[in-house]
Amino acid sequence: NAGVMQNPRHLVRRRGQEARLRCSPMKGHSHVYWYRQLPEEGLKFMVYLQKENIIDESGMPKERFSAEFPKEGPSILRIQQVVRGDSAAYFCASSPRPVGNQPQHFGDGTRLSIL
Amino acid sequence: GDSVTQMEGPVTLSEEAFLTINCTYTATGYPSLFWYVQYPGEGLQLLLKATKADDKGSNKGFEATYRKETTSFHLEKGSVQVSDSAVYFCALSDPSTGNEKLTFGTGTRLTIIP
């Protein structure tokens, strides 16, 4: 399966711990988007990255959240000192180009639960 | 900023009924419009898209027409099946932003009963 791969599928953390979510884009895709879906809500854009660059982080909370997409390896969304309100499904999507009406391909998401 | 307003759910229909899910948008540029479908426990799958005014996107019996004059992109299907039960999201991307980040509606949960 050459689709977008996210892991883990489910992640449980206690308040104050760190959460690391990983996303491997589709083969040949160098543009990655992260979205957050709160319960019973739509997806909200968080950050857009290309290899080694953050292009648009206008949807990222200013504190505790960070993202990277290194030259080698998956994109990582990192949440430090998690709080209950971070409980959500986090989806990654990839595309081959920044613009050009290319639809994004989504992974199955990581469901983060904070105890 | 850009926004998408989507018909509130949940929607429950009998099999073979006609489906309409309303979607309207606000955008500063000339957006591309999408419908995504989400099955339980899964990510989003692209259902159909339209990139310019009067385009009609279609897939699996679903259709939506990009109406610039009414800023709408309503989803329709003539005869729904139980397997169509899912959550449907209307979305837009605005290339004038320099990237393809998606702005989503809140989603409409559709349940089809036999």
List, for residues A6-28, the tens digit of each pLDDT value: 999 999 999 999 999 999 999 98
How many Å lie between the alpha carbon of A101 and the closest alpha carbon of chain B? 7
pLDDT for the residue numbered A101: 60
Chain A contacts to B (CB-CB under 8 A)? 4, 6, 31, 33, 35, 41-45, 48, 55-56, 59, 91, 93, 95, 98-109
> In the prediction, which pLDDT does A41 show?
80
Size of interface A-B (CB pairs under 8 A): 72
B52 touches chain A (CB under 8 A): no
Least confident stretch, A2-11, B16-25, B72-81: A2-11
What is the C-alpha to C-alpha distance for residues B29 and A83, in angstroms, rounded to an integer?
37
Mean pLDDT of chain B: 93
- B36-50 per-position pLDDT tens digit: 999 988 888 999 999
Q: Do B100 and A99 touch (CB under 8 A)?
A: yes
C-beta separation of B62 from B75 below 8 A:
yes
A88 membership: H or E segment, kind and range: strand A88-95
Does B40 contact chain A (CB < 8 Å)?
A: no
For residue B99, name the pLDDT band (cuts at 50, 70, 90): confident
What's the first-to-final CA gap in chain B, in angstroms? 41
Residue to substitute from B8, B25, B99, interface A, most A β-carbons within 10 A = B99
Question: For residue A32, which residues of chain B lie inside 8 Å, CB to CB?
Answer: none
Residue A98: what pLDDT? 65
CA quadruple B100, B103, B105, B107: dihedral sign: positive
